[in-house]
Amino acid sequence: MYYEATKDNYLISTNLALIDIAGVHQYLSEESYWAKGITSATVEKSIAHSLCFGMYEEGKLIGFARLVTDYTAFSYLCDVFILPTYQGKGLGKWLMQTIHSHPELQGLRRWMLATRDAHGLYAQFGWTPLDDAFTKRFMQLHNPNVYTQ
Contact present, 11 and 111 (Cβ < 8 Å): no
Residue 146 is assigned to a structural domain of this protein: no
CATH no. for residue 14? 3.40.630.30
Number of domains in the chain: 1
Percent of the chain with pLDDT over 70: 99
Intra-chain end-to-end CA distance of the chain, in Å: 37
* pLDDT, tens only, 14-44: 999 999 999 999 999 999 999 999 999 999 9
**pLDDT over 80 (residue 118):** yes
Q: Which residue, among 11, 84, 90, 116, has the nearest Cα to 53 in the 3D structure? A: 11
Is the per-residue pLDDT at 61 higher than 90? yes
Q: What is the rounded average pLDDT of the residues 42-66?
A: 98
The partner residues of 53 in beta bridges, in order of sequence, read 65
Domain span including residue 31 = 4-135
Q: What is the pLDDT of residue 139?
A: 84
